[in-house]
Amino acid sequence: MGEVKLLQGNEACVFGALAAGVRFFAGYPITPSTEIANIFARELPKIGGKFMQMEDEIASIGAVIGASCTGMKAITATSGPGFSLMQENIGFAAEAEIPCVIINVMRFGPSTGLPTHPSQADFMQSRWGTHGDHPVIVIAPYTAREAYRETGRAVNFSEKYRVPVIILMDEILGHLRERVEFKEEDIVKEVNRKGPEAGVPFFPYEHTDDWIPPFANFGSGYRCHITGLIHDRTGFPTNNPEIVDQVMRRMNGKIDKHIDEICRISTVDVEDAEIVIVAFGSVARSAAEVVRIMRSMGKKIGLIRPVTLWPFPDREIKKAAEGKKAIIVPEMNLGQMVREVIRTIEGETPVHPLNRIDGELITPRDIIDFIEEME
Amino acid sequence: MGAIHEKYLRMDKLPHIWCPGCGNGIIMSSFIRAIEKLGYEKDEVAAVSGIGCSGRITGYMDFNTLHTTHGRALVFATGIKMANPGLKVFVFMGDGDAAAIGGNHLIHSCRRNIDITAIIFNNHIYGMTGGQFSPTTFRNKYATTAPYGTTDPDFDLVNLCIGAGASYVARSTSYHAKMLTDLFVAGALHKGFAVIEVITHCPVNFGRRNEFDTPADMLRWQKDHAVRTAKADMVPMEEMEGKFVIGELIKKEKPEYVEEYDRLIETVRKGDAHRE
């Protein structure tokens, strides 16, 4: 460590994934995530991994899930329209509890939108994009350094909790190149899914103490059945209401059960702040700059930055926002995360949305003007 | 049920959900006979299916089984084969899976030529949802979404796959059960992507709306309309009208996808690969 590199956000994701043991990528070209596919195509064969360019994004996520069934760590990357196409199979991975990681480098939508412009309008889709109640983890890095580390963390979470994990980037973060100085805490350690225990009767969807059933990889001698139909602990379909209720509560609840490990926020000067900005992704870079500038002017401004977006870090944000004069939530959308902030704070502190939907980044100037006008 | 069924089926999951008279059971029996002939261990077989009546087959067979989303079985199977080439991968699809929602994956699987055997249950109807016409329903047939007869033209899946570059394509019917077993064996032994279309019968949702009084009438129709490849060339064109050819329709050598990629890995690791 102590290593210094010039890294692009998209590039950093690839190296974070490789460090976590990813050996399979399937994807389809789309702006602004394409560099991720390009770099995987170059790097994977060097280490005996496999890269596939599929016929569409539905095929890409399908191949990723298939590869994961054999125990290989697998990932895909896409942007807006491709992320929409992947939703059904993301639901399959959530329901069948197959580890996989999806990187969505957000671009401006809806539809083809502004393909080369940034957006944060997939905040809600990343959580609720597929039909039915389902578990998912969403992580939003804000620097190239964090893109490396958090992609590694995403791979490990997917393996540990048998859940699809989404890395939510945006066009700016994906394409910017910056100096990255790796430190001790950036080391990505490999985590592997839990397998069946010798001498213990094996059920592929057992309600274990930690609520995470062990996974028997295809070809390992267990001959499991995996289905997107609601299934009992044996893996076979059931519509017994009592069992359906139990398995749905376990499958969804397994994330809440481990929320302390999964949720992560980062704060800047929040303790004595009167006004707190809540921002994620590249907008959080502007917000950090605002804190620096306004502190130098003697204004008490702070920043709360959710790194884990879903599950939304309710407790952490509620605690950090306590007793503040106002909360500002700048987002490159018409107001999505702000709803979560309002829900979390429950009317204790006034919450102000600040939105841009012209395809441009919210600048430090935008936020400073907003604060000054508010005062 | 014989010993072969007890060996390869998950007996505790029976009876199956298929309607009385359905052809799917015949295809499943033919398939497990093929596995017996091939001598594959159950642990090394991965069976992947889509959605619909045919999709349920994976629940009944004692292999590594994956029941995926509608039309997507081939891409899940592609990921499995790439990640673990030691597995013998079989895909089971209906005509809705293969010809409609998953048509894109079918043609690209033919193009890629990955070593997977794909079996299409073509009963010319959406059975599970109650008898809607599919891309393989013949013109002027009745369906719940074609109460006055279909106006849509139909796909010929065999020609579609040959056109898409498949290296092995065969067709048979649920009447020709023994031939099915032979074709499944041949498809599995073929190095590359093998497609076997099985013309099968759905008495409940196709037959009874289209003047087939019994399942046996549908099997008789298959027998009367299927022409074996060996004979097909000798039958005058006008007599082939409304009939279809069964047997191996194409079998050729083409580079296999996983082997090609493994070769690439080897070249890259030796530092010999040319990069732009």
B261/A62 touch (CB, cutoff 8 Å), yes or no: no
Please give the mean pLDDT across all residues of chain A.
97
CA distance B91 to B119: 6
Among candidates A63, A72, A88 on the partner chain, residue whose Cβ is nearest the Cβ of B69: A88
Rounded Cα distance, B258 and A319, in Å: 53
Q: Which residues of B lie closer than 8 Å to A, measured between beta carbons?
A: 10, 13, 42-44, 46, 48, 58-59, 62-69, 72, 75-84, 86-87, 104-105, 108, 261, 264-265, 268-269, 273, 275
- Helices B73-83 and A57-69: crossing angle in degrees, nearest 10, is 50
Residue B195 has pLDDT above 70, yes or no: yes
Q: What is the pLDDT of residue B232?
A: 85
| % of chain A residues with pLDDT over 90 | 96
**Does residue A64 surpass a pLDDT of 60?**
yes
CB spacing of B79 vs A69 below 8 angstroms:
yes
Q: Distance (Å) from the C-alpha of residue B270 to the closest C-alpha of chain A?
A: 9
How far is CA B192 from each of CA A64, A113, B8, B113, rounded to the nearest angstrom? 21, 40, 25, 5
Alpha-carbon gap: B209 to the closest alpha carbon of chain A (Å): 30
What is the end-to-end Cα distance of chain B in Å, rounded?
A: 60
Instruction: Report CB contact under 8 Å: B79, A63.
Output: yes
Interface test with B, best of A227, A231, A238, A239 (most B CBs within 10 A): A227
- Interhelix angle for A364-374 vs A281-296, to 10°? 60
Distance separating alpha carbons of residues B182 and B205, to the nearest angstrom: 29
Question: Does the pLDDT value for residue A299 go beyond 90?
Answer: yes
A88 Cα to chain B: minimum distance (Å): 8
Confidence of residue B233 (pLDDT cuts 50, 70, 90): confident
Tens digits of residue pLDDT in B142-173: 999 999 999 999 999 999 999 999 999 999 99
Q: Taking CA atoms, what residue in A is nearest to B88?
A: A219
CB contact under 8 A, B108 and A66: no
Q: Is residue B1 very low, low, confident or very high in pLDDT (cuts 50, 70, 90)?
A: low
Query: What pLDDT was estimated at residue A347?
Result: 82
What is the reported pLDDT for B272? 82
* pLDDT per residue as tens digits for the range A323-371: 999 999 999 999 999 999 999 998 889 999 999 999 999 999 999 999 9
The answer, for A50 touching chain B at a CB cutoff of 8 Å, is: yes
Point out the residue among B58, B75, B77 whose CB comes nearest to the CB of A225.
B58
> Chain A partners of B68 at a C-beta cutoff of 8 Å?
62, 92, 228
Whether cis (ω within 30° of 0) applies to the bond prior to A32 is: yes
DSSP letter for each residue of B242-266? T-EEEEEEEE-----HHHHHHHHHH
Out of A55, A70, A92, closest to residue B69 by CB: A92
Q: What is the pLDDT of residues B234-260, one digit of tens each?
A: 888 888 889 999 999 999 999 999 999
In 3D space, the residue among B114, B48, B98 whose CA is nearest the CA of residue A52 turns out to be: B114
CA B90 and chain centroid, separation: 9
- Chain B touched by A223 (CB under 8 Å): yes
In angstroms, what separates the C-alpha of B211 from chain A's closest C-alpha?
A: 34
**A219–B43: do the CB atoms touch at under 8 Å?**
yes
Three-state DSSP at B158 gives helix
The minimum CA-CA distance between A62 and chain B, rounded to whole Å, is 5
**Domain boundaries of chain B, sorted by first residue:** 3-270
Q: ipTM exceeding 0.95? A: yes
CB-CB under 8 Å, A48 with B269? yes
CA distance B21 to A373: 76
Residues A338, A354: Cα–Cα separation, whole Å:
9
Alpha helices in A34-122 (DSSP H): 34-43, 57-69, 80-96
Domains of chain A: 4-186 (3.40.50.970), 266-374 (3.40.50.920)
Q: What is the pLDDT of residue B276?
A: 74
* pLDDT of B2: 85
Indicate if the pLDDT at residue A182 is higher than 80.
yes
- Indicate the pLDDT class of residue B275, thresholds 50, 70 and 90: confident
Total length of chain A: 375
Please determine, for residue A1, whether its predicted confidence score (pLDDT) is greater than 70.
Answer: no
pLDDT digits (tens, 9 = 90+) for A72-115: 999 999 999 999 999 999 999 999 999 999 999 999 999 999 99
In this model, does residue A35 exceed pLDDT 60? yes
CATH number of the structural domain B3-270: 3.40.50.970
Q: Is the pLDDT of residue A2 over 80?
A: no
Judging contacts by C-beta atoms under 8 Å, the chain A residues touching residue B86 are 219
Q: Say yes or no to pLDDT of A224 above 90.
A: yes
Nearest Cα residue in chain B from A238: B13
Decide if pLDDT at A300 tops 60.
yes
Enumerate the residues of chain A whose CB falls inside 8 A of the CB of residue B17: none
| CA–CA min distance B166, chain A (Å) | 16
pLDDT at A375: 81
The predicted pLDDT at position A3 comes to 86
Computed over its alpha carbons, how large is the radius of gyration of chain B? 19
CB B177 within 8 Å of CB B29: yes
In degrees rounded to 5, what are phi and psi of residue B175?
Answer: -75, -40
The alpha carbon of B85 is separated from its chain's Cα centroid by a whole number of angstroms, namely 21
